[in-house]
Amino acid sequence: MRKLIIAIDGPAASGKSTTAKLVAQRLGYLHIDTGAMYRAVTLRVLEEKIPLDDVQKIGELAEGTQIRLERSGSGSRIYVDGRDVTTDIRSPSVTNCVSLVSSYRLVRDVLVREQRRMAERRGVVLEGRDIGTVVLPNADLKIYMVAHVTERVKRRKRDLELAGSVVDSEALEQQILERDRFDSTRDASPLRKAPDAIELDTTDLTIEQQVQFVVSRAQKILKRLS
């Protein structure tokens, strides 16, 4: 049976990760969290104490870093140069710097090349900001997820609190809006809805409804292709 390439893009905390992970599980596909890959490079930049404006050095670091995503239980784990960094890439310092690091063309060139390679075998759900527009413009199904900022703050706050962090909603809202602004106004592959993407507003949807929406679209395409 033919396998699909599914692209899920959208702003921060719009529900991409949870949806992409569950859609991949239901279809037996591989979930590729491309934001996690930009976070992994950012973590290495911070660990190596490379100045955040040293574009050349950061590009070289990205080129020399091996990133691996592995399925594990109900989720996936991410390794840089063989080290499990699944938890470390979610730290506030990485979150604060990842928009800047991911705006560098040299970094994007390396990671986009890798993302295309991972998608070659098909049967993949990639989530990010530029999957449907730049990484895989020929994806079989493109979803652009959005949600009202108040709902996004609520979701992100719940995730952070579950991970043991204390967060202020107002500061979190500012951070999310600032990251959206930066991600959508940068020169290199800004966050944008592909013209042929289906917009899905998840503000009032349950996770199950979000997942079902994407899975049923995928099944329709698979039926047409069979």
Q: Where on the chain is the footprint of ligand DC (CB under 6 A)?
A: 12, 34-35, 38-39, 98-99, 102, 128-131, 179, 183
Specify whether the CB–CB gap between 123 and 3 falls below 8 A: yes
Minimum CB distance to ligand DC smaller for 34 or for 65 = 34
- Token digits of residue 62: 């990205």
| β-bridge partners, 76 | 71
The closest of 182, 180, 211, 161 to 13, measured between CA atoms, is 180
Minimum CB distance to ligand DC smaller for 177 or for 198 = 177
Q: How far is the CB of 218 from ligand DC (least distance, A)?
A: 20
Q: How far is the CB of 209 from ligand DC (least distance, A)?
A: 21
Give the separation between CA 198 and CA 214, rounded to whole angstroms.
10
Minimum CB distance to ligand DC smaller for 100 or for 222 = 100
Q: How far is the CB of 81 from ligand DC (least distance, A)?
A: 20
The closest of 30, 104, 24, 23 to 61, measured between CA atoms, is 104
Gyration radius (Cα) of the chain, Å: 17
* Helices vs. strands in the chain: H and E counts, helices first: 8, 8
Q: How far is the CB of 120 from ligand DC (least distance, A)?
A: 17
Minimum CB distance to ligand DC smaller for 127 or for 217 = 127
Q: Which residues, other chains included, contact 48 with Cβ-Cβ below 8 Å and sequence gap of 6+? A: 61
Distance of CA 61 to the CA centre of its chain: 20
Minimum CB distance to ligand DC smaller for 104 or for 213 = 104
Q: How far is the CB of 131 from ligand DC (least distance, A)?
A: 6
